Every structure is written in structure tokens, then in C-alpha cells.
Structure 1
Amino acid sequence: MPRIEIKTQVNADIKIVFDLSRSIDLHKISTAQTYEEAIAGKTTGLIRLNESVTWRARHFGVYQNLTSKVTAFNSPFYFVDEMTKGAFKGFRHEHHFIKTNEGTLMTDIFVYESPFGLLGQLFDKIILKKYMTQLLTKRNQVVKEFAETGRWKEVLSS
């Protein structure tokens, strides 16, 4: 199964970075290019343990629905969301947060399995792993931007 690990240093308080990372509203902003919309479950605010969200988004020119659930949660250090329905055969997305002298080190570990056997594995190698890495990196840059500039108040104070 493909594994993506992304480390992002954010010069902001760990609690702010943790909350931005689980914000449905910030997720919508960070994935504007795929027209993501929360259509069921938790559709706004901060997602918590045992809550789920269903996203509708356009990837590779096709609209898809994907439901994920928060299965582990230790504020402000760690949470995990896992797919319960969607295009993947499965995925697990771990979000780790460590307080540093500069602020917060945010680490994403995304492990997934594509459907369609060997064809899916080939698609992973040629296209999907790079696509998912770019999507997660973009999301992390938006978290970083909002946390470091004070824009976090736009999504966390409402």
C-alpha cells in the first residue's frame, strides 16, 4: 500500500494548528480546486472523535463522494481519519503535532489502497501518489498560512 509522509513546520501554537487541521471549513478552503463540499455528517466546524463527514469533490474530472470518520483523537497531539466509503479500497490518514521551539511540527501520514488490483497499483505509481502528495501539501500550506498570519480567527472563532 502506498504511504505518503509530509512534515510541515508551522510557526504557531500547537492548539491552533491542531484545530485548523480538523476544521471542515478550512478543508473546504484548502481544496477549492476540487470543488470539495461537505454534504453529510459533520458539515461545518471542528470534527471530533467518532464523527464522520461525507465530501463531494471532483477528481480527475469525475465527481465522487467520500466518507471518512475520526477513529482516534488526542488533542492537541494526534488524530486519525479513515475512509468508510469512497473510491479508495481504504485509507488511513494520521495527523501528528509536536510542539517545537519554532511552533508546531505537523506530520501527515497517509496510507491508502486503490481498487482494481494491478491496474490500481499501476495508476498509483504513475499518477495517484503524486496527485495525493500535492493535494496534502497544498492543504498543509493553507493550514500554515492561516495559522501564521492570524487568519485562523476567520475559521476557528465562528
Structure 2
Amino acid sequence: MEVVSVVNAAPGTVFDLELDVDVHAASLAGSRETATTAAGRRRLGLGDEVTFRARHLGVWWRMTSRITAYDRPRRFVDEQTRGPFRSMRHEHCFENLGDGRTRMTDRMTVRAPLGALGAVVTRIVLTPYLKRLLKKRSVHIAHLAEAAHSRIRAKE
């Protein structure tokens, strides 16, 4: 699945917000999401792991992901190392559109356990649900990034 948004802020600002675990948790506050890093840092870097705990679809979930690729401010990838999915890979891309604007693209691939049944559940339930979460998160990131961008422009 893919979610694309245009944010009125520089790629570095958007990139940094996407790697901030406090911002992540706040973007999904409705699910009572928490994020704990192995390193204790708020902003993740290459090799860092983060464990998320949240209530989704009426069930408490726990998932640990690692940052497996990092190219600031263009791209990073996080992949599940432990959790509910057979596999999960989330690629975050940031394209500089000029004039302080960024195209943010989230690409996520998920494979559920349970073979054919898991594939059906993924297509019918998980993919639409995760796409809504990615859209909600992108709106939150855009709001924070654009507010920061406005403050910077006001100082100039």
C-alpha cells in the first residue's frame, strides 16, 4: 500500500518528525500508542529499535521494528523484528519539491501469518485499516512540520 502527501515544509523537517517516537505516539493517540526505544533516544537512527504497544481493532498489539536504511533527508526504512505480522516493511520517502515543500511517500508491505487465511484478512481488513492509520499519521506530521516551517519563516 502507498500513501502520498505534500507537506509545506522542508524535507529535513518532515524526515526528523517521522523518526521522532513521541510524535509517532501522539499521531496515534486514539489507540493509546506508546513507543519505547532500545537506545532511550527520542529520534531514531540507523540500527535503532523501537517497540510499539497500542490497541488496534479491539486488541492490544506489541511490535518491535528496526531502522534498516537511513539516508537523511531522503529516505528511511523500518522493518518488524518481532510482532504480529509474518513480515512488515515500511519505506518512508521524502522528495524536495522546491519552495519549502516535500512530497512524503509511505510504502508499507505487510504479510500476515496463517497462509491463505492471513492473506485474505490482510487484503480485506489489515490493508484498509493500516492505510487509514498512515493517512492519519501523515496529516499529523504535516500539521507539525508546517507549523515549524511557519515559525521559521516568521523569524526571517
TM-score (norm 2): 0.90
1:49 maps to which of 46, 49, 52: 46
Which residue number in structure 1 is paired with residue 114 of structure 2? 116
Which letter maps to 2:56?
A: H
CA separation in 2, counterparts of 1:36 and 1:100? 32
Identity %: 38
How far apart, CA to CA, are the structure 2 residues paired with 1:19 and 1:152? Answer: 16
In structure 2, C-alpha distance between the alignment counterparts of 1:42 and 1:104, rounded to whole Å? 29
2:134 partner amino acid: L
Amino acid corresponding to residue 113 of structure 2 in structure 1? P
| Cα deviations by residue, 1:113-154 (Å, 9 ceiling, x for unpaired) | 01111111111222111000000110011000111122999x
Q: Which residue of 2 aligns with 1:6?
A: 3
Aligned residue type for 2:22: D
Whether 1:15 aligns to 2:33 is no
Counterpart of 2:104 in structure 1 is: 106
| SS state at 2:26 partner | helix
Matching residue of 2:71: 74
List 4+ stretches of structure 1 deviating above 6 A. Answer: none
Aligned match of 1:64: 61
Aligned length: 150
What is the one-letter code of the residue matched to 2:139? Q
Inter-partner Cα distance in structure 2 for 1:127 and 1:100: 34
Q: Any gaps of 5 or more consecutive residues in structure 2? A: 152-156
CA RMSD of aligned residues (A): 1.7
Aligned pair 1:134/2:132, yes or no? yes
